[in-house]
Structure 1
Amino acid sequence: MSLAPRAVLVRRTTEYEELVARHGTHGQAAFFLRSRGRDVEELADRHHRTRRTLAEVTSAIPPTWRQAQVERADLDRFLFAPEDVVVVVGQDGLVANVAKYLAGQPVLGFDPDPDRNPGVLVRHRPVDAAKLLPSATTAATDELTMVEAVADDTQRLVALNEIYLGAAGHQTARYRLGLEDDGGVVEAQASSGVLIGTGTGATGWLRSVWQERSSGLRLPRPTDERLLWFVREAWPSPATGTSLVAGELSASSRLSLTVESERLIAFGDGMESDAVELTWGQSVRVGVCRERLRLVG
């Protein structure tokens, strides 16, 4: 007999909860913000909207399903099961945060604050939960492309939006960069790091770099099996070049980087606290990930 689905609700601590935890009481948090020209009621209102959304979505879970909740800070310690339906309540970035821990489970995103959030990944309103959840295991999904980085010591990093390779603190990184499907051309570089992004990431950091460069590269769509990459602020010198600073990766191509600094890091989707560390002489290959995020449309 197959197990009933388990609804895993993913949320993050609200700004209001963080303030109250830091200052002890609502009143102390209000005093702290008031001294800086802010009103705690704005944050409290967003907090209460999030709590109401969580309650409404939770009440819509079919009674025969099992349930679990996990905070964003605990995702790396939570074990997702094959029969899970992942229910994200929060901002678009929370879907990206959970994506790398999944292996094909369907994801439903509910937006508690549509006036503030773009709703690219948290596409649904709480009122629709009762209709959407019972059919989530069989519903049509968008298969969103992800990006992966694999180091020569088998460390692996997966991201939905983008992966950054560079120095901690975004200082000068030194490395050798190459395209494996371009005749083995390799260039020594000194830069602020390399950004490799997906079509989903093309609504965020990747797009900002693309736009700043006035790049002629075509931005991918979220379901396209291709990536764009950009070297940030490459520095020309007698020992370093600037000829390989942007490009496209197909599903079968890989960008390779060999570290020539004491320490570089790779992190995904802005989560620098969950970084892969790379030392002198190590190499890492970046390309399209074989897994996809299954987002219920």
Structure 2
Amino acid sequence: MLRRAVLVERPTELRELLARHGTREQARFFLRTRGLDLADVEERHLRHEEARALVLGAVPPDWRTATVARDELDRFLFADGDVVLVLGQDGLVANVAKYLDGQAVVGLDPEPGRNAGVLTTHPPAATADLCADVAAGRATVAERTMVRAALDDGRELRALNEVFVGHRTHQSARYALAADGRREHQSSSGVIVSTGTGATGWAASINRARAEPLPLPAPEDPALAWMVREAWPGPATGTSLTGGTLRGGAALEIVCENGDGGTLFGDGVEQDRVPLDWGQRVTVDVAPGRLRLVA
């Protein structure tokens, strides 16, 4: 079969405003009441559309093309050999990573200087050369570690940055945690397990607040860092297990002890959360697959 380029994007701010308010004038009025200007939003939209046209126009003519929006990813079927062109912010790479199985990912930044550009490192103008490099097998690919959370009912959730286990309202969550051959009942604001990619985001903020910060893994390091947020020392709950590193096939086990409200989600996408019931077990370890990011 012909090779296929799959463009992954999210709606621009202008498209989201029009979907919500119906017309440009309604959107303009909404923004004006908040001291904002529609012209700025329209300018960013045009820049994105120009970048989008540049990317699609650079796909080799003998390739097939497909486009998929962020909210359609869970219904889109990626094929072996697809080249995934992610046009947007770094978070969009994390959104798509869990749906892939070894496909090469090219991160394209439509607004250099506005986005962090950690994962979307390439300008849209480089698309043609990058596609040619991938097709010829000469592209430099960085394989980034991912994290997997496996439930005892057979479901799994993968993430590029981190997974969170706690309460859906971020109030106190109760659970039993097992790590390094030890087990403890805890009450806390939840547990995150981070990859090296996520070590510069949420995990970094939590780690800075620790009395003894953990050494965080690098993005390609096959290891995970786990941290308990605000563990509470109660009569039946302890605080001796609040952080560590998972290496060499080690796993973290968490058993939910909330009557309701237990939750599991990845990469900050709470809309895709998995509800946890009383007694449900979650095992977190390094995912078997990796994100193959064209460097």
Question: What's the TM-score bracket when you normalise by the shorter of the two chains?
Answer: over 0.9
* Local SS of the residue matching 2:48: helix
Q: Quick check: 1:166 aligned with 2:166?
A: yes
Deviations 1:244-265 (A, max 9, x none): 1111111410000011112311
Aligned length: 292
State the identity %: 54
Residue deviations 1:215-242 (CA, integer Å, cap 9, x gap): 4321211000111111111111101011
Partner SS, residue 77 of structure 2: coil
- For the Cα contact (< 8 Å) 1:220–1:227, is it kept in 2? yes
Alignment match, 1:34: 32
Quick one: which of 93, 96, 117 aligns to 1:95?
A: 93
CA apart distance, 1:132:
1.0
Structure 1 match to 2:220: 223
Name the structure 1 match of 2:56: 58
Letter in 1 for 2:153: D
Matched, 1:272 2:270: yes
Query: What is the aligned partner in structure 1 of residue 148 from structure 2?
Result: 148
**Structure 2, unaligned runs of 5 or more:** none
Q: Distance in 1 between matches of 2:58 and 2:89?
A: 20
CA distance in 1, matches of 2:206, 2:240: 17
CA contact (8 A) 1:147 1:158 kept: yes
1:157 is aligned to: 157
Distance, in Å, in 1 between the alignment partners of 2:49 and 2:259 is: 45
Q: Give SS of 1:291's match.
A: coil
- What's the secondary structure of 2:110's corresponding residue? coil
Tell me the CA shift for residue 173 of structure 1.
0.8
After alignment, is 103-112 or 216-225 more displaced? 216-225
Aligned pair 1:46/2:15, yes or no? no
Query: Equivalences for 1:111-122 in 2 at 5 Å?
Result: 111-122=109-120
Which AA in structure 1 matches 2:259? E
Per the alignment, in what secondary structure is the counterpart of residue 32 of structure 1?
Answer: helix
Per-residue Cα deviation, 1:21-76 (whole angstroms, up to 9, x for no partner)? 11111121111111111111222111111111110000000011001000000100
TM-score normalised by the chain length of structure 2:
0.97
Q: Which aligned runs of 4 or more in structure 1 are off by greater than 4 angstroms?
A: none
Deviation at 1:95, TM superposition (A): 0.2
Letter matched to residue 254 of structure 1: A
**Is there any run of 5+ residues in structure 1 with no aligned partner, and where?**
none
* 1:206 corresponding residue in structure 2: 203
3-state SS in 1 of match to 2:289: strand
Match of 1:22 among 14, 20, 30: 20
